[in-house]
Chains A and B, each alone.
Chain A
Protein backbone atom coordinates (compact mmCIF):
# COMPACT_ATOMS: atom_id res chain seq x y z
CA UNK A 1 0.00 0.00 0.00
CA UNK A 2 2.82 2.32 0.95
CA UNK A 3 4.78 1.40 -2.16
CA UNK A 4 1.70 2.05 -4.30
CA UNK A 5 1.39 5.53 -2.79
CA UNK A 6 5.11 6.10 -3.41
CA UNK A 7 4.70 5.04 -7.04
CA UNK A 8 1.69 7.35 -7.44
CA UNK A 9 3.69 10.25 -5.99
CA UNK A 10 6.65 9.43 -8.23
CA UNK A 11 4.46 9.34 -11.34
CA UNK A 12 2.70 12.60 -10.44
CA UNK A 13 6.03 14.30 -9.83
CA UNK A 14 7.60 12.87 -12.99
CA UNK A 15 4.75 13.96 -15.25
CA UNK A 16 4.61 17.44 -13.68
CA UNK A 17 8.38 17.88 -13.91
CA UNK A 18 8.62 16.65 -17.50
CA UNK A 19 5.75 18.81 -18.70
CA UNK A 20 6.91 21.90 -16.77
CA UNK A 21 10.44 21.66 -18.14
CA UNK A 22 9.23 21.10 -21.72
CA UNK A 23 6.80 23.97 -21.48
CA UNK A 24 9.42 26.39 -20.18
CA UNK A 25 11.94 25.16 -22.75
CA UNK A 26 9.53 25.85 -25.59
CA UNK A 27 8.72 29.31 -24.18
CA UNK A 28 12.42 30.02 -23.88
CA UNK A 29 13.00 28.74 -27.41
CA UNK A 30 10.27 30.98 -28.75
CA UNK A 31 11.80 34.13 -27.26
CA UNK A 32 15.40 33.26 -27.74
CA UNK A 33 15.67 31.74 -31.16
CA UNK A 34 15.38 34.99 -33.05
CA UNK A 35 18.58 36.44 -31.66
CA UNK A 36 20.60 33.51 -30.34
CA UNK A 37 21.52 31.18 -33.13
CA UNK A 38 23.33 27.86 -33.02
CA UNK A 39 26.58 29.44 -34.11
CA UNK A 40 28.21 31.03 -31.10
CA UNK A 41 25.43 29.78 -28.84
CA UNK A 42 27.04 30.05 -25.47
CA UNK A 43 24.31 29.94 -22.87
CA UNK A 44 21.25 32.07 -22.60
CA UNK A 45 20.85 35.43 -20.94
CA UNK A 46 17.40 34.42 -19.68
CA UNK A 47 17.09 30.66 -19.34
CA UNK A 48 13.57 30.13 -17.98
CA UNK A 49 13.76 26.29 -17.79
CA UNK A 50 16.10 26.70 -14.80
CA UNK A 51 12.95 27.56 -12.85
CA UNK A 52 11.68 24.02 -13.53
CA UNK A 53 14.89 22.59 -12.07
CA UNK A 54 14.78 24.75 -8.96
CA UNK A 55 11.06 24.47 -8.27
CA UNK A 56 10.67 20.76 -8.92
CA UNK A 57 13.71 19.74 -6.87
CA UNK A 58 12.78 22.10 -4.03
CA UNK A 59 9.11 21.13 -3.86
CA UNK A 60 9.19 17.47 -4.91
CA UNK A 61 12.67 16.41 -3.80
CA UNK A 62 14.78 13.71 -5.44
CA UNK A 63 11.70 12.10 -7.02
CA UNK A 64 11.87 14.82 -9.69
CA UNK A 65 15.44 13.98 -10.76
CA UNK A 66 14.78 11.18 -13.33
CA UNK A 67 12.06 13.15 -15.13
CA UNK A 68 14.21 16.27 -15.08
CA UNK A 69 17.12 14.37 -16.63
CA UNK A 70 14.82 12.87 -19.27
CA UNK A 71 13.32 16.30 -19.99
CA UNK A 72 16.80 17.80 -20.45
CA UNK A 73 17.78 15.20 -22.99
CA UNK A 74 14.44 15.27 -24.79
CA UNK A 75 14.33 19.07 -25.03
CA UNK A 76 17.94 19.55 -26.06
CA UNK A 77 18.14 16.61 -28.43
CA UNK A 78 14.70 16.64 -30.01
CA UNK A 79 13.30 20.18 -29.71
CA UNK A 80 16.59 22.10 -29.57
CA UNK A 81 18.09 19.83 -32.22
CA UNK A 82 15.22 20.57 -34.55
CA UNK A 83 16.00 24.31 -34.36
CA UNK A 84 19.76 23.78 -34.63
CA UNK A 85 20.49 24.69 -31.01
CA UNK A 86 22.16 21.41 -30.12
CA UNK A 87 25.77 21.23 -31.23
CA UNK A 88 26.76 18.60 -28.66
CA UNK A 89 27.59 14.97 -29.26
CA UNK A 90 25.26 12.58 -27.49
CA UNK A 91 27.82 11.68 -24.80
CA UNK A 92 28.32 15.37 -24.01
CA UNK A 93 24.60 15.90 -24.05
CA UNK A 94 24.29 13.18 -21.39
CA UNK A 95 27.10 14.75 -19.37
CA UNK A 96 25.79 18.31 -19.47
CA UNK A 97 22.21 17.15 -18.87
CA UNK A 98 23.35 15.20 -15.82
CA UNK A 99 25.21 18.22 -14.42
CA UNK A 100 22.27 20.52 -15.16
CA UNK A 101 19.91 18.09 -13.41
CA UNK A 102 21.92 17.69 -10.25
CA UNK A 103 23.09 21.32 -9.92
CA UNK A 104 20.13 22.21 -7.69
CA UNK A 105 20.73 19.15 -5.51
CA UNK A 106 24.41 20.05 -5.12
CA UNK A 107 23.47 23.63 -4.28
CA UNK A 108 20.95 22.46 -1.68
CA UNK A 109 23.46 20.14 -0.02
CA UNK A 110 26.05 22.93 -0.08
CA UNK A 111 23.51 25.20 1.58
CA UNK A 112 22.78 22.47 4.13
CA UNK A 113 26.48 22.54 4.93
CA UNK A 114 26.07 26.24 5.64
CA UNK A 115 23.13 25.49 7.92
CA UNK A 116 20.12 25.93 5.62
CA UNK A 117 18.33 22.63 5.28
CA UNK A 118 15.40 21.57 3.18
CA UNK A 119 12.82 19.15 4.54
CA UNK A 120 12.01 17.57 1.18
CA UNK A 121 15.51 16.14 0.75
CA UNK A 122 16.90 13.03 2.46
CA UNK A 123 20.33 12.35 3.96
CA UNK A 124 20.30 15.22 6.40
CA UNK A 125 20.96 14.99 10.07
CA UNK A 126 18.14 17.01 11.60
CA UNK A 127 18.52 18.50 15.01
CA UNK A 128 16.17 20.78 16.82
CA UNK A 129 18.57 23.65 16.11
CA UNK A 130 18.47 23.06 12.33
CA UNK A 131 17.51 26.05 10.24
CA UNK A 132 15.04 25.01 7.56
CA UNK A 133 14.46 26.57 4.20
CA UNK A 134 10.90 27.80 4.08
CA UNK A 135 9.43 26.76 0.74
CA UNK A 136 6.54 29.17 1.07
CA UNK A 137 8.99 32.07 1.27
CA UNK A 138 10.03 33.30 -2.16
CA UNK A 139 13.24 34.80 -0.77
CA UNK A 140 14.44 31.33 0.19
CA UNK A 141 13.61 30.05 -3.28
CA UNK A 142 15.55 32.96 -4.79
CA UNK A 143 18.51 32.08 -2.55
CA UNK A 144 18.41 28.48 -3.85
CA UNK A 145 18.18 29.88 -7.38
CA UNK A 146 21.34 31.96 -6.98
CA UNK A 147 23.30 29.09 -5.41
CA UNK A 148 22.15 26.58 -8.02
CA UNK A 149 22.87 28.98 -10.89
CA UNK A 150 26.42 29.37 -9.59
CA UNK A 151 26.85 25.59 -9.30
CA UNK A 152 25.32 25.06 -12.75
CA UNK A 153 27.46 27.69 -14.45
CA UNK A 154 30.63 26.44 -12.78
CA UNK A 155 30.01 22.76 -13.45
CA UNK A 156 29.11 23.30 -17.11
CA UNK A 157 32.10 25.59 -17.59
CA UNK A 158 34.46 23.01 -16.05
CA UNK A 159 32.87 20.21 -18.12
CA UNK A 160 33.26 22.18 -21.33
CA UNK A 161 36.83 23.11 -20.43
CA UNK A 162 37.81 19.51 -19.60
CA UNK A 163 36.13 18.14 -22.73
CA UNK A 164 37.71 20.97 -24.79
CA UNK A 165 34.29 22.13 -25.97
CA UNK A 166 34.68 25.73 -24.87
CA UNK A 167 36.96 27.76 -22.66
CA UNK A 168 35.20 31.08 -23.01
CA UNK A 169 34.69 32.63 -19.55
CA UNK A 170 31.75 34.59 -20.96
CA UNK A 171 29.84 31.30 -20.91
CA UNK A 172 30.08 31.14 -17.12
CA UNK A 173 28.64 34.63 -16.76
CA UNK A 174 25.86 33.98 -19.26
CA UNK A 175 24.83 30.73 -17.60
CA UNK A 176 24.93 32.29 -14.13
CA UNK A 177 22.99 35.43 -15.03
CA UNK A 178 20.71 33.59 -17.45
CA UNK A 179 19.64 31.00 -14.89
CA UNK A 180 18.93 33.60 -12.22
CA UNK A 181 17.02 35.93 -14.55
CA UNK A 182 15.10 33.07 -16.13
CA UNK A 183 13.95 31.70 -12.78
CA UNK A 184 13.00 35.11 -11.43
CA UNK A 185 11.05 35.93 -14.58
CA UNK A 186 9.20 32.60 -14.38
CA UNK A 187 8.31 32.90 -10.69
CA UNK A 188 7.14 36.50 -10.96
CA UNK A 189 5.25 35.85 -14.18
CA UNK A 190 3.45 32.92 -12.54
CA UNK A 191 2.62 35.10 -9.58
CA UNK A 192 1.27 37.85 -11.83
CA UNK A 193 -0.64 35.42 -14.01
CA UNK A 194 -2.14 33.29 -11.29
CA UNK A 195 -2.89 35.77 -8.54
CA UNK A 196 -6.39 36.28 -9.89
CA UNK A 197 -7.18 32.66 -9.06
CA UNK A 198 -5.97 32.97 -5.48
CA UNK A 199 -7.97 36.05 -4.55
CA UNK A 200 -10.70 34.10 -2.85
CA UNK A 201 -9.25 33.54 0.61
Chain B
Protein backbone atom coordinates (compact mmCIF):
# COMPACT_ATOMS: atom_id res chain seq x y z
CA UNK B 1 0.00 0.00 0.00
CA UNK B 2 1.57 3.34 -1.01
CA UNK B 3 2.19 5.69 1.87
CA UNK B 4 1.51 9.38 1.20
CA UNK B 5 3.89 10.68 3.87
CA UNK B 6 6.66 8.38 2.68
CA UNK B 7 6.27 9.67 -0.86
CA UNK B 8 6.36 13.26 0.37
CA UNK B 9 9.47 12.58 2.42
CA UNK B 10 11.18 11.28 -0.74
CA UNK B 11 10.33 14.59 -2.38
CA UNK B 12 11.75 16.50 0.58
CA UNK B 13 14.86 14.31 0.37
CA UNK B 14 15.24 15.34 -3.26
CA UNK B 15 15.05 19.02 -2.28
CA UNK B 16 17.62 18.42 0.43
CA UNK B 17 19.94 16.79 -2.09
CA UNK B 18 19.76 19.97 -4.18
CA UNK B 19 20.58 21.93 -1.05
CA UNK B 20 23.60 19.71 -0.40
CA UNK B 21 24.84 19.72 -3.97
CA UNK B 22 24.63 23.46 -4.37
CA UNK B 23 25.81 24.09 -0.81
CA UNK B 24 22.86 26.32 0.04
CA UNK B 25 23.48 25.98 3.75
CA UNK B 26 26.00 28.15 5.51
CA UNK B 27 26.49 25.94 8.53
CA UNK B 28 27.99 22.48 8.91
CA UNK B 29 25.88 19.77 10.62
CA UNK B 30 27.72 20.34 13.96
CA UNK B 31 27.19 24.08 13.71
CA UNK B 32 23.52 23.47 12.92
CA UNK B 33 23.22 21.23 16.01
CA UNK B 34 24.60 23.98 18.24
CA UNK B 35 22.55 26.68 16.56
CA UNK B 36 19.33 24.70 16.95
CA UNK B 37 20.05 23.96 20.61
CA UNK B 38 20.26 27.70 21.20
CA UNK B 39 17.22 28.30 19.01
CA UNK B 40 15.14 25.78 20.97
CA UNK B 41 15.97 27.26 24.35
CA UNK B 42 13.47 29.89 25.48
CA UNK B 43 15.58 32.98 25.93
CA UNK B 44 19.21 32.38 26.79
CA UNK B 45 21.18 29.16 26.89
CA UNK B 46 24.23 28.17 28.90
CA UNK B 47 27.16 26.35 27.38
CA UNK B 48 26.80 23.19 29.50
CA UNK B 49 23.32 22.72 28.10
CA UNK B 50 24.62 23.01 24.53
CA UNK B 51 27.37 20.47 25.27
CA UNK B 52 24.83 18.05 26.77
CA UNK B 53 22.23 18.39 24.06
CA UNK B 54 24.50 18.49 21.02
CA UNK B 55 26.72 15.63 22.17
CA UNK B 56 29.81 17.56 21.05
CA UNK B 57 32.94 18.17 23.08
CA UNK B 58 33.25 21.41 25.05
CA UNK B 59 36.17 22.64 22.90
CA UNK B 60 34.22 22.00 19.69
CA UNK B 61 31.23 23.86 21.08
CA UNK B 62 33.42 26.85 22.00
CA UNK B 63 34.94 26.88 18.52
CA UNK B 64 31.50 26.76 16.92
CA UNK B 65 30.13 29.47 19.22
CA UNK B 66 33.00 31.71 18.22
CA UNK B 67 32.18 31.19 14.54
CA UNK B 68 28.46 31.81 15.11
CA UNK B 69 29.31 34.97 16.99
CA UNK B 70 31.59 36.16 14.16
CA UNK B 71 28.70 35.56 11.76
CA UNK B 72 26.49 37.71 14.01
CA UNK B 73 24.08 34.83 14.62
CA UNK B 74 24.49 34.71 18.38
CA UNK B 75 25.92 36.84 21.18
CA UNK B 76 27.77 35.59 24.22
CA UNK B 77 27.06 37.23 27.57
CA UNK B 78 28.10 36.74 31.14
CA UNK B 79 25.49 35.22 33.44
CA UNK B 80 24.26 37.69 36.04
CA UNK B 81 23.66 34.99 38.62
CA UNK B 82 27.02 33.27 38.16
CA UNK B 83 29.81 35.48 36.79
CA UNK B 84 31.90 32.41 35.85
CA UNK B 85 29.24 31.13 33.52
CA UNK B 86 28.78 32.28 29.91
CA UNK B 87 25.39 32.30 28.32
CA UNK B 88 24.49 32.72 24.70
CA UNK B 89 21.43 34.07 22.98
CA UNK B 90 20.29 34.47 19.40
CA UNK B 91 21.06 37.74 17.69
CA UNK B 92 18.81 37.14 14.71
Contacts and interface: CB of A to CB of B under 8 A. Distances in A.
Given A9-B4, A195-B24, A201 B32 contact: yes
Interface in A46-78: 55, 59-61, 63
Given A135-B11, A195-B19, A198-B12, A5 B1 contact: yes
B10 A200 contact: no
Interface residues of B, number: 25
Main secondary structure of the interface of A (DSSP, over half): helix
Contacts of B14: 135-138, 141
A8 to B, nearest CB: 8
Interface residues of A, number: 30
A198 to B, nearest CB: 5
B15 interface: yes
Given A190-B15, A195-B24, A200-B32, A136 B4 contact: no
B48 interface: no
Given A135-B10, A199-B27, A201-B32, A191 B4 contact: no
A138 B18 contact: yes
Contacts of B2: 9, 60-61, 63, 120
Contacts, number: 68
B15 A59 contact: no
A9 to B, nearest CB: 6
Most A-side CB within 10 Å, residue of B4, B8, B21:
B4
A26 interface: no
Contact of B36 (A5, A191, A199): A199
Given A5-B1, A136-B17, A201 B29 contact: yes
Given A59-B10, A200-B32, A187 B15 contact: yes
A195 B15 contact: yes
Interface of A: 2, 5-6, 8-9, 12-13, 16, 55, 59-61, 63, 120, 135-138, 141, 187-188, 190-192, 194-195, 198-201
26 contacts: A5-B1, A9-B1, A16-B4, A59-B7, A59-B11, A60-B7, A63-B2, A120-B2, A135-B11, A135-B14, A136-B13, A138-B14, A138-B18, A141-B14, A187-B15, A187-B18, A191-B15, A191-B18, A192-B24, A195-B19, A198-B12, A198-B15, A198-B16, A198-B19, A200-B32, A201-B32
Given A191-B19, A195-B15, 17 more contacts: A2-B1, A9-B1, A9-B2, A12-B4, A59-B10, A61-B2, A120-B2, A136-B14, A137-B14, A137-B17, A187-B15, A191-B15, A191-B22, A191-B24, A195-B16, A195-B24, A199-B32
8 closest A-B pairs by CB:
A136-B13, A191-B18, A195-B19, A12-B4, A191-B15, A59-B7, A135-B10, A136-B14
